[in-house]
Amino acid sequence: MGGLSVLLLAAGTAPAPGAPGAPGVTGGSSPRVAALIARMTLDEKLSFVHGDTDPEALGQAGYIPGVPRLGIPELRLTDGPAGVRVNAHATAMPAPVALASSFDDRLARTFGQVIGRDGRALGQDVLLSPMTNIIRVPYAGRNFETFSEDPLLSSRMVAGEIEGVQSQGLIATVKHYAENNQEDNRMGVNVHVDEQTLRQIELPAFEAAVKAGAGAVMCSYNSVNGSHGCGSDELLNSILKEQWGFRGWVMSDWGATHATTDIVDGLDQEMPSAAYLGAELKTAIQNGTVPMSELNDSVARILGRMEKFGLLDGRSDQRPARDPEGGARAAQQVAESGAVLLKNAGGSLPLTGEDTSIGLIGPTAKTPKVTGGGSSNVVPDFAASPLDTITARAGEGATVRYAAGGDNTGLPIPATALSPALPVGPDGAITVTPDESFFHTGTLTVPTEGDYSFVFDLPAAYGAVLIDGSNVLTGFLGSSTARVHLTAGAHSFAAGALAIQGAPTKVRLNWVTPQAAQAAREEAVALARQVRTPIVFAYDDGTEGVDRKDLSLPADQDGLISAVAEANPNTVVVLNTGSSITMPWLSEVKAVLDMYYPGQNGAEATARLLYGDVNPSGKLSQTFPADESVTPVAGDPLRYPGVDDQEYYSEGVHVGYRWYDKERADPLFPFGYGLSYTSFSYRDLRVRQQHGELTVSFTLKNTGARDGDEVAQVYVGASPGTAAQQAVRSLAGYQKVHLRAGQSKTVRIRVDAQQLKYWNTSADAWALGTGKRGVWVGGSSRTLPLHTSVDVTR
Ligand code: BGC
């Protein structure tokens, strides 16, 4: 319950909300909800504020039992951001970062609709998604699961997705509120962020989610300015519930509740079980430390959403059928629309009829990379191999050959190298059950010095590997790889895994020796020499729970790409990566197409993009650094990853491209950047200002020979009217425009007043940035051919 409401009720000045007999039930709830609460026992009420175990074991992340005697059904809560994660097949959508790169608000809605329908059909009621934390740290493990480094783009994506999810009757949960911008030490880190930065960079997308009607909010593991995300009075009560008027409920991230009294401070539901808000809360209520009105309010918030979504009227029993074909079509559309063409020297893409000899290289060219690891890892309905889709598209006159070039699954570590051997079954896997974790120690003896890769596949488990006492690999729901340099001889080795989805699972811990890696590389280089066009598929294994250690491709794929490019200058690179990477080989290759983790229809989308059946139109939703020493968090451990659990967002509002602009630093690829197989020109800029709102119009022309989409972007500069922190330029509007070859259109983009405001910390309010301000229009944050200025007045 909000702190303000507590005061009002205590003072007896608030109108009696809800039905009599149910103190604390706020204006957000209906008489029906209030009447239900009035009939509930204390234990029944308590059953809503913490999670339980699902007797049906559908494999979702959370469960609330309901109160059958009052006709209140169970509630099932499932991840997540790239599709429904249960013990069943679902539509595996592309990573949300790919959706954001489409800059297509309508597509965000479609994306949400697919997951919403799937979730309902798969027996779920609440979706633990979307994630909308800002991309602040290039290394952050969950950058693929969220949208962008820009608050406006994230706001529009999150709103569209939530509308889509909830249009199907599934309750959306925006997460992780707030400032969960990294994975390393996510449970321990205390983020120090100034009020202006908090309001302008991280919070806008959460507010947009609330405005779009999100039913629930998940508070984060990390602390913000000294308070746990799930215990922050400022974030949960003042901002979320009072200022934004949020009527839904706040649930904790899994294990993010730190005190029984958190419920007083805004948290409504502890997940996944009841460490604090079970027995401890019961005692606190019985002895009067926590007023019953607080509990009533939390229950009312949950029941209020259940009522709104028809769950109190039997909707749980009326579920739609799945629509796997529709889901697949949408997944493909997002993959096609969000892919970013980063380089295309000499128009080497699209592939044409002359490209009759193609060499596909890289393990994800054959075994598709569908999704990232962690809680958004989805079991796809089906996922074709790029080798098959490209072979089919290349046609009969062409030859498409394959060489792995590397190995992202590895082979079992033989008993001659590891003693005692791993306890694998005949299928090479180790069985882990909820009751029996796997833990193994031994001695690893390697005959030669070199780089050994360890690949831990953990479909429903958490795992780690230690060599010579150091943790070299941590993985979680998905496959993780670590490359370790070992000297010849004996090394201590320890590995463990635990099942985390309440069911037995099989894990595999394999390795790739330097000799095997070298042989695979030589085979790829030989293939590159024999074909006209080598296409290297490069991947990484982004996952929740850990950040990347650096921005290079894992398993020395940088070396592989360089070796292939040296053998054949026509090399094309397709990226199956989750976030920005450095590209030391960029000048050596002809073309780079970033597909991200493209979802279950990624292979079809990749073939169509490579052959020009669709024209690439995605734009980067985050800056790609040229060098790891020049990023917004480089060289300052207090900025990232934090020191002694303290981290300072001392770059202020200068996150992402705002930092590169301020520092005049050159990125590898700027925010908003992406190429097309056609070209566009911009002219005739006109800007009209009225009451702090802008209407920006210009003529956009497709000057090339192919139809295509351009994401036209409007940026606004600093206001001379304030001494507050300001970006050189901020994205203030965008529109994705379709133009036939040769066609021109007048494009009109409205910049609403909010985009011209800054957070005035002393007034504790938004203020219009008045005075003469620059307006730029173009196709990326660094390609802005149109420029004027406008006098902004109230
Ligand atoms: C993640 C959440 C997720 C939850 C349930 C947590 O570890 O941070 O994003 O929804 O687990 O799976």
Q: Give the mean model confidence (pLDDT) for residues 430-458.
A: 94
Residue 78 forms part of a structural domain: yes
Residue 587 has pLDDT above 70, yes or no: yes
Q: Hey, whose CA ends up nearest to atom 2 of ligand 1?
A: 253
Burial 275-291 (b: 16+ CB within 10 A, else e): bbbbebbbebbeeeebb
Give the model's pLDDT for residue 6.
26
Q: Which residue of 58, 127, 253 sits with most ligand 1 atoms within 8 Å of its CB, as the best mutation to test the pocket?
A: 253
Say if 8 falls within a structural domain.
no
Which of 317, 336, 371 lies at the terminal end of a domain, its last residue? 317
Residues 602 and 633 in one domain: yes
Q: Name the closest-CA residue to atom 4, ligand 1.
A: 254
Write the residue with the smallest CA distance to atom 5 of ligand 1: 61
The enclosing domain of 757 has a CATH number of: 2.60.40.10
Mean pLDDT value across residues 431-456? 94
Same domain, residue pair 34 and 140? yes
| Ligand 1 centroid distance, CA of 1 (Å) | 24
Smallest Cα–Cα separation from 623: which of 632, 614, 634, 610? Answer: 632
Distance 252 CA to ligand 1 centre (A): 9
In a domain, 5, yes or no: no
Average pLDDT for residues 680-687, to the nearest whole number?
Answer: 98
User: Would you say the CB of residue 175 lies under 6 angstroms from ligand 1?
Assistant: yes
- Residue 176, pLDDT above cutoff 70: yes
Rounded distance, CA 189 to CA 754, Å? 31
pLDDT of 329 higher than 90: yes
Find out whether 308 and 315 touch, Cβ atoms under 8 Å: no
SS3 content of the chain, % helix, strand, coil (to 5): 25, 30, 45
Q: Evaluate whether residue 13 is within a structural domain.
A: no
- Are 550 and 619 within one domain? yes
Is 710 in a helix, a strand, or coil? strand
Q: Which is the closest atom of ligand 1 to the Cα of 85?
A: 12
The predicted model gives 703-710 an average pLDDT of 98
The predicted model gives 416-436 an average pLDDT of 93
With a cut of 70, say whether residue 11 has pLDDT above it. Answer: no
Q: Which of 705, 708, 702, 710 is nearest to 743 (CA)?
A: 702
Residue of 124, 544, 546, 547 with the most ligand 1 atoms within 8 Å of its CB, for mutation? 544
From the CA of 170, how far away is ligand 1's center (Å)? 18
In the chain, % of residues over pLDDT 90: 89
231 alpha carbon to ligand 1 midpoint, in Å? 18
Tell whether 391 and 417 lie within a shared domain: no
Please indicate, yes or no, whether residues 620 and 562 belong to a single structural domain of this protein: yes
**Within a domain: residue 571?**
yes
382 plus 416 within the same structural domain: no
Position 673 in a domain: no
CATH code, domain carrying 441: 2.60.120.380
* DSSP SS3 for 358: strand
Give the residue numbers spanning the domain of 717.
680-792
5 pLDDT more than 90: no
What residue type is assigned to position 374 of the chain? G
* Dihedral sign, Cα of residue 548, residue 552, residue 553, residue 554: negative
> What is the CB neighbour count within 10 angstroms for residue 88?
16
If one counts the domains in the chain, the total is 4
Q: Using one digit for the tens of pLDDT, what is the confidence trace for 384-421? A: 999 999 999 999 999 999 999 999 899 999 999 999 99
Tell which residue, 745, 675, 742, has the closest CA to residue 704.
Answer: 742
Distances from the Cα of 221 to the Cα of 55, 179, 608, angstroms: 27, 9, 41
Least confident segment among 10-19, 147-156, 571-580 = 10-19
Average confidence (pLDDT) over 641-661: 98
| Measured distance CA(520)–CA(524) in Å, rounded | 6
Per the domain annotation, does 1 fall within a domain?
A: no
Q: What pLDDT sits at residue 23?
A: 52
| Same domain for 71 and 195 | yes
According to the model, what pLDDT value does residue 366 have?
A: 98
Please report the pLDDT score of residue 26 as a whole number: 57
Pairing state of beta strands 757-760 and 729-739? unpaired
Write the pLDDT tens digit of every residue in 199-257. 999 999 999 999 999 999 999 999 999 999 999 999 999 999 999 999 999 999 999 99
The answer to whether the CB of 204 falls within 8 A of the CB of 159 is no
What CATH number is attached to the domain comprising 398?
Answer: 3.40.50.1700
pLDDT for the residue 88? 94
Q: Which of 295, 317, 339 finishes a domain?
A: 317
Contacts of 399 by beta carbon, 8 Å cutoff, 6+ apart: 356, 357, 358, 531
Distance from Cα 501 to the centre of ligand 1, integer Å: 12
For residues 698 and 746, is the Cβ–Cβ distance under 8 A? yes
User: 47-76, pLDDT tens digit by residue?
Assistant: 999 999 999 989 999 999 999 999 999 999
Closest ligand 1 atom number to CA of residue 131: 9
What's the CA-to-centroid distance between 50 and ligand 1, angstroms? 15
pLDDT digits (tens, 9 = 90+) for 504-535: 899 999 999 999 999 999 999 999 999 999 99
First to last CA, the chain: 36
Query: Is 657 near ligand 1, meaning CB less than 6 Å away?
Result: no
Q: Say if ligand 1 is within 6 A of residue 80 CB.
A: yes
Neighbouring CB atoms inside 10 A of 29's CB total: 28
Phi then psi dihedrals of residue 788, to 5 deg:
-150, -175
- Residues 522 and 560 placed together within one structural domain of the fold: yes
pLDDT score of 38 more than 70: yes
Average pLDDT of the chain to the nearest whole number: 94
Residue 270, SS3 per DSSP: strand
For 353-379, how does the pLDDT look when each residue is reduced to its tens digit (9 = 90+)?
Answer: 888 899 999 999 999 999 999 989 999
What mean pLDDT is predicted for residues 643-661? 98
Ligand 1 centroid – CA 457 distance (Å): 19
> Of 19-28, 483-492, 506-515, which range is least confident?
19-28
Residue 133 Cα, ligand 1 centroid: separation in angstroms? Answer: 13
Question: What pLDDT, on a 0 to 100 scale, did the predictor assign at position 541?
Answer: 92
Last residue of a domain, one of 317, 336, 362: 317
